[in-house]
Amino acid sequence: MTERPPYEPDIPLKEMAKTSYPKLVISGKRQREGQGPALVKICDILEKELGAQRVTIEGATHNPQLSYPEQFNNVLREFLDTASRHKQPTQRRTANLATQPPEL
């Protein structure tokens, strides 16, 4: 199996933006060498083009669901609870972290 290049997919952002369901973009705030600026830009574009709620997890990098699973799940749970009530918060925020990530 070969990995597809990141420029290959055709993501239907306009069609996705028109949908009535809420959207969420979760990203890490800490950048690792060689991956940070491009990933931040992708998340910025998704937030803008989709009208998505954006949450940045302080201390996390590219995979906040792996390095901060409890915080990631809390953000996701809050988003889903809000979405189920048909309200979508539009503010950008940074998740406060009380614990350090587990050693990998």
pLDDT tens per residue across span 93-103: 666 555 555 55
The dihedral region occupied by 28, where left means phi > 0, alpha psi between -120 and 50, and beta the remainder, is: beta
Q: Is 20 left (phi over 0), alpha (psi -120 to 50) or beta?
A: alpha
pLDDT, tens digit, for every residue of 26-70?
988 776 655 677 788 888 999 999 999 999 998 888 788 998 999
